[in-house]
Structure 1
């Protein structure tokens, strides 16, 4: 049997290959071994003197430094190593902290108390207290106790806790052009974080996005660094407080993080965690512009980027981390890594990486690798592989922030100001600020005489986003990807349907709700259709082009249906980036870019209706923060391009006071919109559209929508796992209590007749985690009754270690004759009645290059 063991992470490998010439340069410059990883990487050399200077508004306080020195004199090497390591609450317990003196914990996007992303704030404060009390045991007699810092991704409000205020994502806030509003949002976010006992947020993101294919485009405020620069200081001060105030970093304030340093918004092809090939001047003026502002405002932490600059990973770039950020810019806080980002350095693993520390990283984010990293880092500090002066500097920086924030004497989390004040999460003043942000973020793209609507009229409401607060909130909402959320998960939140109903009820108007196919009863005077992108985060949102849902015209057909029936139609588009959708704009009379407005999104409807006097209470003020593409291949389209030809320019936005008609737009997308994906089935931890994942047993079928799901009879469970990057693989567990199945399916079925005739193969990258020799695991292509021949996939596991990834290519013709592949419901169907576990990271159709096999 032929198979290939995979030792490197394929996502990282793809990023390097896709980054072009800069990576070819870096291949030789980055060559270093485990023996010399203490040496800083030299590719992408910087000239610190050309970078701007900055200064902490607090400065180095001799009293604080003396206190730090006293603390460090009482610390053992073990305790110093602990300070520079951060573990995730999903991978450690209070009992662990009795043994390991970690300096910090975090809750990643899918981590929450009791493993429940819907845990109330009371569970968060309870766990914070448990961590605090348990961590005391790791400090022996004579060793000063150093409390934990708990970091959280509160990136658009405190988006981790049900009932908290979820603000519009940053792309929408960029449309407001309102720095003062950013200050208020920062203040509210910090106050709500304190309720659950946390004191540190991984925000704000001050990336400047230059390629809208990037899956994190909505985390940037604008393609124009001027907007980000105008926001950075206000956000930092809103979150942390004024540096000269008594409650700076204390009370209702928390520690902020400027991220991601540096250049993540400008990677080649918009690939997440990819390579930025800009010149040093472009990197400085575009991507680095907001960092001096953040430092001058008192930012206490900076997060290193996953990405590279000119081939060198930022987690290992001494020139940028140490010489520029800490040296030239005078940053005196600490630099934290991103999720196992240190493990992407050449010569490093997630459990061993002196190179990152030596480059200037002060705290490793080691969510699930913290234990091994702690043990190895301690050994390396003991044997001289780690420079103890550099370790001491990292510890000093962390302690400096802990002392400045009052953490050292704050007591347990539940006793701190603002803790367990659950009414804060329902504060009407906070909700009104969020509603203001929603209203100001809406961008009116088109209004050919239909808006504003009368609240006395009959309004048809349609689209899968109309009554879907989860969809309108996007990624990073209660979970990392923001999927699987119900309206009930947002107590007090408002959908677009709620907002429309509120206006019509006040004036005796009427709402007609259409079904999924656009069917309805009654005679509407106008229609409002709410639709858009499904939630995503980070690399799972990366795209190849900017066409909206190529191959899926369901939203377009809905708009065309109403147009053909003579119903004036308003299209509300929920999105994390501008997309080519000229057909949808042509099929509507008004078109609004609503972005991802969050839990108060229903208040966007305040802009759509007149009041009882026939006047408007609110006008559109939002302006495009990103240029809107004329064709789907304008993926890197920015206001300062030499040949700038957008459909709608940066800064565009109509209003009632500044109206304008939009004519018929060209429907030439520049690509074939009819191309339907029948080849890529699974990648980056998710089924590739239009395929879906299901787990099933005799009790029924569950469509997999979240990071953890289970079949109706609990025979099969599936959950996201990491392979080099966060949640890019899936582990499927069969408990053996009955027959279970995992499938990658499509409805309507795919026709793979041509692919079978062309000698294609199903390629998979798989790991057999728990599979005994006698276990039976079949793989088949579901193309109807008695159509496909199941292959014994368990035979491929013979002699393999459970930690080994295997690349397999199985001939499509092994499963069924070409004539039987006209209606393929499931391209990848795993079935077993045994107790076993298997992981997948990539499944697709490939050309058989002679290496594909059959399994008897």
Structure 2
């Protein structure tokens, strides 16, 4: 599921604003990266590989009779409306009354009244209003109740004050299915307080490449833990099939994302999975086998492709495997406009998805209305068979009947609704504190430095020590988890809060300084540091080196160590990272993952009891292999050549001696010599970028071979083959530009490190009358300009030539190469006429570049 931070914008506007300095989280409807491999072979599918499941929740004649009776009375328009799932930012209560949508959602960072600090009562009020509108048949003739779906992925994480559990990567380190079921039950209770029916969880991705920005959403790199957890979470959310299944204490669950999202090539978000069919089941399918068996009622389709075919449009996977062979009788919901990524589809029209087996289109932004209208027309025209629509709607109605939505009270009148004392309640937080304690993994403990005495003089340092937002990571109030302060977590605690409480009644002392300064030399320093929050797309990186190019945390550790102060490192991260230097500079090192709102629980494990006894020991064990090098991004349990720094299952307790050397290799040893040129324009602009024209402060996406906007005009031309180049004319009437931009950043640090240059093949037809700038941009206040006026002025007219610019010229002017949204923008306020063809980042070419900054 993706953010809703800019739902009022169209795709074009969203991507335009990403470059025009107001990017706040829009999401491209295109896959973030080009699928970097397409299967070189085609194999014959073998449906017999997949199991025929025996479901705990079986079809009931009573339920089926009610579903059939409802279906028989419905019009095509009413049926299609059941298949539409718009987002709260883009529909009104009156839209619900008019169309009777089968469901709706709030995406990450979306709130009632667009208010981040909306109260539980605000959530309930919206749920009640939408429900009443859905059962009002005065406009649409339908009284079928709607459902509200939400991303409660580590607690009810969109709601201020909710209990936030460790992210899944930390929960995997616990390896405790019983506690996982309790966590899911607590989540269900807090969700139901706000009148919501349906949770988009669990995520059962088995992560095979830790460069993936969603690594922390996976419990493990191995299906063993994922399979056990999936069943436990589904039971915790929905209840047991033979007890309180979908009672008024439970919510509908969603096993996601079907299938293979954790196994894409290179860890590319929404990329291409090339696993064999047997591997798809054995590695990526076990969470579905267990979760569906115990009764999960919905499955979310994945953005990724399998052997080049988008899963949202893969009939073999959605229908033949999931529904027919495995026997799943619930419904399949799409992900955030995922249908629009299918070949031949758009967000507004995609019969291919329904025909492949998608039952519910997740359709945020303004695309919901044209999609609804087009789908109705496609059903009437026979493009989508009526039998497929009836099957989809029957599945949706079956789940609604099983969930008792036709019989339960309205959202505001359900047993848990409005019981706001449950949100962030002490019993719920204690479950979260237990999860924090059990998720911690002790990687190093020289001379048994831990556990610490409460009688010592302690220094706490690091920018994550007193930062609940950073320790909670992405999918925390906002989609990316950014923009939060400690005041956004009433009832929560930072890691520093817990340490302070431990030392409050002892004879020790405490100093706190983010930068590690102190007035009295401490006995021990606890340094809490780690990754900044991120979610899907923004979290993708190209290797696992921590703070690559900016080792400020390492400098702090070394400075303390140089002063003879023992250092305990508490590392906050959403994945294992290459931290050899940081390990060497630490006497003890704790992988704390992303612990959520109950950071104080970490101190329970770090410190002894007042009498010197162990309070809580370390029980967490790695559910992800820890890399030996920055490039060891896809090392996994049972690999043939398995040579990690720390293996799957590793973790010390207080009885064990430390096993890590203090002289680990600190040389990155990146395999940069294998880096090939990164093509930005090659006959067409390359994914993930799209092309835009800008004139003054207005911009538009280029969607035609001939286009004009204000002071700039553009057309496709022939250089070597048909339309392999572009001609651009600036008329000088106002500042203008042509640029390429994406909504998610690219990490091009490897190209900077390999001394690459931006290479542009150009032909000048009219020389510039004013300054011409070449720009790269990383975000609104992070861009770098290079003046290329002189190079253009000295070029021969009407001759194809290549201009190259050292990437260091951009980084020295302020570009953050880790997060590049736009790799190319050419802008001027004057007149200029030129054509361009190939544009690329070329390794090992900076020393010969036309503009050098080394």
Q: Alignment partner of 2:187: what SS? A: helix
| Distance (whole Å) between structure 1 residues aligned to residue 655 and residue 753 of structure 2 | 56
Residue 371 (str. 1) matches residue 369 (str. 2) = yes
Give the structure 1 partner of residue 441 of structure 2. Answer: 443
Tell me the SS of whatever aligns to 2:99. coil
Aligned-pair distance for 1:587?
0.2
Give the aligned partner of residue 427 of structure 1: 425
Superposition deviation, residue 778 in structure 1:
10
Cα–Cα, structure 1 residues 657 and 148, in superposed 2: closer, same or farther, change >3 Å? same
Q: Separation in 1 of the partners of 2:482 and 2:327?
A: 40
Task: Tell me the equivalent position of 1:617.
Answer: 615
Compute the displacement of 1:367 (Å).
1.2
Distance 1:453 1:617 in 2: 11
Q: Provide the rounded CA distance (Å) in 1 between the counterparts of 2:807 and 2:359.
A: 58
Return the offset for 1:427: 2.0
Shift of 1:790: 12
Q: Counterparts of 1:385 and 1:822 in 2: how far apart (Å)?
A: 52
Structure 1 residues 762 and 338 mapped into 2: Cα distance closer, same or farther (>3 Å)?
farther
From 814, 824, 827, give the equivalent of 2:813: 824
Mapped partners of 1:219, 1:656: distance in 2: 29
Q: 1-side partners of 2:138 and 2:72: how far apart?
A: 14
Cross-structure match for 1:204:
202
Q: How does 1:370-409 map to 2 (within 5 A)?
A: 370-409=368-407
Q: Does 1:528 align with 2:526?
A: yes
1:321 counterpart residue number: 318
SS in 1 for 2:56: coil
Tell me, in whole angstroms, the C-alpha distance in 2 between the residues paired with 1:476 and 1:850: 41
Q: Which residue of 2 aligns with 1:569?
A: 567
- Deviation, structure 1 residue 685: 11
TM-score, scaled to structure 1: 0.78
The reply on whether 1:842 has 2:840 as its aligned counterpart is: no
* CA RMSD, 1 decimal: 3.6
Partner of 1:75: 74
Partner of 1:186: 184
Q: Is the 8 A contact 2:32 2:687 kept in 1?
A: no
Residue 497 of structure 1 corresponds to 496
Match of 1:303 in 2: 300
| Alpha-carbon distance in 2 for matches of 1:537, 1:422 | 28
* Pair 506,812 (structure 1): closer, same or farther in 2 beyond 3 Å: farther
> CA distance change for structure 1 residues 685 and 94 in 2, over 3 Å: closer, same or farther?
farther
Change (3 A) 1:851 1:139: same
- Contact 2:580 2:664 (8 Å CA) reproduced: yes
- Correspondence for 1:560: 558
More off after superposition, 451-460 vs 109-118: 109-118
Distance change in 2, residues 1:811/1:825 (3 Å) = farther
- 1:92 aligns with 91
**Separation (CA, whole Å) in 2 of partners of 1:280 and 1:437:** 35
Q: Which residue of 1 aligns with 2:107?
A: 108
For 1:545 and 1:380, locate their aligned partners in 2 and report how far apart those are by CA, in whole Å: 45
Counterparts of 1:537-616 in structure 2 under 5 Å? 537-616=535-614
- Residue deviations 1:360-419, cap 9 Å, x none? 111111112211110100111111111100100000000000011011122321011200
Q: Give the aligned partner of residue 4 of structure 2.
A: none
CA shift in 2, pair 1:820/1:227, >3 Å: closer
CA distance in 1, matches of 2:314, 2:281: 15
Q: Secondary structure at the match of 1:236?
A: helix
Q: Summarize the Cα distance change of 1:819–1:350 in structure 2 as closer, same or farther, 3 Å threshold.
A: closer
Shift of residue 135, structure 1, vs aligned partner: 2.6
Residue 60 of structure 1 corresponds to: 59
Structure 1 position 810, deviation (Å):
13
- Structure 1 residues 45 and 134, CA gap change in structure 2 (3 angstroms): farther
Aligned counterpart, 2:517: 519
Correspondences of 1:670-709 after superposition (within 5 Å): 670-671=669-670
Q: Residue 74 of structure 1 contacts residue 144 of structure 1 at CA under 8 Å; is this kept in 2?
A: no
CA separation of 1:852 and 1:69: change in aligned 2, threshold 3 A: closer
Partner of 1:659: 657
User: Using a 3 Å threshold, how does the CA distance of structure 1 residues 527 and 451 change in structure 2: closer, same or farther?
Assistant: same
- Partners of 1:303 and 1:336 within 8 A in 2: yes
User: Any idea what the Cα deviations from partners look like across 1:37-81, whole Å, max 9, x if unmatched?
Assistant: xxxxxx765322221121221211111111111111221111000
8 A contact 2:167–2:596 mirrored in 1: yes
Matches of 1:755 and 1:594, distance apart in 2: 33
For the residue of structure 2 that corresponds to 1:561, the secondary structure is helix
1:213 aligns with: 211
Indicate if the aligned counterparts of 1:680 and 1:845 stay in contact, CA closer than 8 A: no
Contact 2:135 2:142 in 1 (8 A): no
Contact 2:184 2:233 (C-alpha < 8 Å) held by counterparts: yes
Where 2:600 maps in the other structure, the secondary structure is helix
Contact 2:31 2:341 (C-alpha < 8 Å) held by counterparts? no
| Residues in 1 aligned to 2:388 and 2:500: alpha-carbon distance in whole angstroms | 60
TM-score by length of 2: 0.78
**Structure 1 residues without counterparts, runs of 5 or longer:** 26-42, 674-678, 687-695, 697-742, 745-749, 764-776, 792-808, 829-839
Deviation at 1:15?
A: 3.6
Q: Distance in 2 between matches of 1:100 and 1:507?
A: 64
Cα gap change, 1:411/1:659 in structure 2, threshold over 3 Å: closer, same or farther?
Answer: same
Deviation string 1:436-474 (CA, Å, 9 cap, x unpaired) is 000000000000021111111111111110000000000
| Structure 2: distance between partners of 1:294 and 1:324 | 16
CA distance in 2, matches of 1:467, 1:160: 21
Name the structure 1 match of 2:464.
465
Q: Is the contact between residue 170 and residue 219 of structure 2 (CA under 8 Å) also seen in structure 1?
A: yes
In structure 2, the partner of 1:294 is: 291
- 1:162 is matched with 160
Q: Which residue of 1 aligns with 2:646?
A: 648
Change (3 A) 1:214 1:684: farther
For 1:140 and 1:680, locate their aligned partners in 2 and report how far apart those are by CA, in whole Å. Answer: 53
- The 2-side partners of 1:582 and 1:416 are apart by 53
TM-aligned CA deviation for residue 220 of structure 1 = 0.6
Paired with 1:392 and 1:680, the residues of 2 have a C-alpha distance of 46
SS at match of 2:170: helix
CA 1:557–1:684 in structure 2 vs 1: closer, same or farther (change >3 Å)?
Answer: farther
Of residues 124-133 and 437-446 in structure 1, the stretch that sits farther from structure 2 once superposed is 124-133
Name the CA distance, whole Å, in 1 between partners of 2:204 and 2:442.
25
Note closer, same or farther for the CA distance 1:53–1:554 as it changes in structure 2 (3 Å cut): same
Separation in 2, partners of 1:443, 1:652: 8
8 Å contact from structure 2 (residues 774, 786) kept in 1: no
Paired with 2:383 and 2:484, the residues of 1 have a C-alpha distance of: 47
C-alpha distance in 1, partners of 2:757/2:224? 53
Q: 1:669 to 1:292 in 2, by over 3 A?
A: same
Structure 2, unpaired ranges of 5+: 1-11, 17-26, 673-677, 681-685, 690-696, 698-740, 744-748, 763-771, 790-800, 827-833, 840-854
**Contact 1:585/1:591 (<8 A) preserved:** yes
Of 231, 234, 254, which residue of structure 2 is paired with 1:233? 231
1:760 deviates by 5.7
Q: Give the total of aligned pairs.
A: 712
Which residue pairs with 1:699 in the alignment?
Answer: none
Change in CA separation of 1:13 and 1:474 when aligned onto 2, cut-off 3 Å = closer
* 2:315 paired with 1:335: no
